[in-house]
Amino acid sequence: MELRQLEYFIAVAEEANFTRAAERVRISQSGVSAQIRQLERELGCELFDRSSRVARLTAAGEAALGPARAALDAAACLGHAVDDVAGLIRGRLTVGMVIGCTITPLFEGLEKFHRRHSGVTLSLQEDSSDHMVDQVRAGSLDVALIGATGSAPVGLESLTILAEGLSVLVPHGHVWSARSSIRVADLDGESIITMPRGTGIRATLDEACSAADVTPSIGLQATSAEAVADLASRGLGVAVLSESMSTDFSETLVALPLDDVTHRALLLLVWASSSNPAVRVLVSCLEDAFGI
């Protein structure tokens, strides 16, 4: 039994798909399948039900998943303990970034880390915030920049980058353009243009609408603030973005605070408590880059 077999087994279990697991561990699907078959022969039982497109754990697979994760964690702790003594930072870190994010300090922090510790391989991927939180908890992501509403995810270390309200953006000359603010109830029946689910802005908007007993009509969605604003400037609906995003479009749109939103839209760095010195150093670099 080899550690890489356990790594492949965990990847397939978490992705529920051999192809996605192969992409994650960066080898061919046939290689993943062969290694897991070998592991199954050594254990004397099948770990996955392969009768459908979804790779489901058998009862034996469910029993094996916890010990497999513990074995990999123990091996990682061994390496980290030696690295701490030797003053080395090496290995691989996987960083997650919420879809539609173009936060320059994140990239600056990654650059700073890479310049100092080029022996660590960095990978960066975009995903929805909810999915990334699950991945951080599972250990397949080391650090993630996520959007949330109200508070940080339970059970994870976190660093708040931004906490702000929402704004409604309408074209100059719109019936609302002379107002000083908008209430959530005003959005009832309006065609709204905003970010997709999985972003902090959308989570905050959905929660505010639910609290006001308003069912939002999401007409159009886009993963970038520029696209949301462009669609709104063409009269296709009213845009909802965060306060800081809204300041960039004053030439074409009027930004009005959405003034009865209880919770703030959050941009957070999250990571699991870890003995990995590379994670600690990366978080420190990101703190510096964000000026925290």
| pLDDT string in tens for the chain (292-residue length) | 788 888 888 888 988 888 888 888 888 888 888 989 999 999 998 999 888 888 889 999 899 888 888 887 777 666 655 555 444 466 789 999 988 777 889 999 999 999 888 888 899 999 889 899 999 998 889 999 999 988 899 989 999 998 999 999 999 999 999 999 999 999 998 999 999 988 889 999 999 999 999 988 898 999 889 999 999 999 999 999 999 889 889 899 999 999 888 888 899 999 998 767 888 889 989 998 888 7
Distance CA 121, CA 105 (A): 19
Task: State phi, psi for 238 to the nearest 5 degrees.
Answer: -100, 135
270, 153 contact by CB (below 8 A): yes
98 alpha-carbon distance from chain centroid: 4
Distance CA 116, CA 131 (A): 30
* CA 176 to each of CA 33, 95, 185, 192, 258: distance values in angstroms, whole numbers, following the listed order: 59, 41, 14, 14, 12
**Whole-prediction pTM value?**
0.66
Amino acid at 290: F
Distance CA 277, CA 290 (A): 20
Distance CA 32, CA 4 (A): 10
What helix, strand, coil percent values describe the chain, rounded to 5?
A: 45, 25, 30
* CA 2 to each of CA 72, 141, 155: distance values in angstroms, whole numbers, following the listed order: 10, 22, 30
Distance CA 107, CA 87 (A): 25
